[in-house]
Structure 1
Amino acid sequence: MRSTYRNKKWLAAVGQIEQCVLCGAWGVQVAHRNEGKGIGMKTDDCATAAICVTCHSEIDNGKGLSRDERRQLMDRAIVLTVIQIARRGLVVPA
């Protein structure tokens, strides 16, 4: 079984993004992708997004979106987060 990727520098970089990558609201949470989680478990740290409380709640519990729509929205948020991290030079590839 493969181990889960953990990286505090990556999480800190995501947390430095001040605005939600989806809606632009100020104040973000570092949100992990929901897939592959269990009790007390999270997905890889590199599968995180800088999103506001409202977007995070909608992705995790949104009744107005299907499961596939919520996953697509989170995938989009993760990609937009990676783009912001790269553009700002918050994490430099080794």
Structure 2
Amino acid sequence: MSCGVSDDTIVAAHSNQLRDGKGRGVKAHDYRIAYLCYTCHTAIDQGKDLNKQDRVDLWETAHRKTIGWLFENGKLKA
């Protein structure tokens, strides 16, 4: 949902933001996921080429796209 790649490396990447409950050995809740390919997941998690705000912005954009996709495709319902 970040770069548009649709391959077999796509996973539900949890938020790494402290406000989402992320901590040492603790993952954020499952509703704070973004579908990311391996390359995007690595870039956001390890961020060698991105500053912290860029990583947050990319993850948040992918998260919104993921949630939208889940609703539009009947995977989540309100």
On whether the aligned pair clears a TM of 0.5, the verdict is yes
Which 4+ stretches in 1 moved above 4 angstroms? none
- The higher radius of gyration belongs to 1
**Alpha-carbon distance in 2 for matches of 1:60, 1:74:** 9
2:15 corresponds in structure 1 to 33
2:4 to 18, 21, 24: 24
Q: Secondary structure at the match of 1:31?
A: strand
1:56 aligns with 2:36: no
Runs (5+) with no aligned partner, structure 2 = none
Q: Secondary structure at the match of 1:30?
A: strand
Deviations 1:12-50 (A, max 9, x none): xxxxxxxxx112221211100001222221112111011
Using structure 2 for the length normalisation, give the TM-score. Answer: 0.86
Runs (5+) with no aligned partner, structure 1 = 1-20
Letter in 2 for 1:29: V
Using structure 1 for the length normalisation, give the TM-score. Answer: 0.73
Identity %: 34
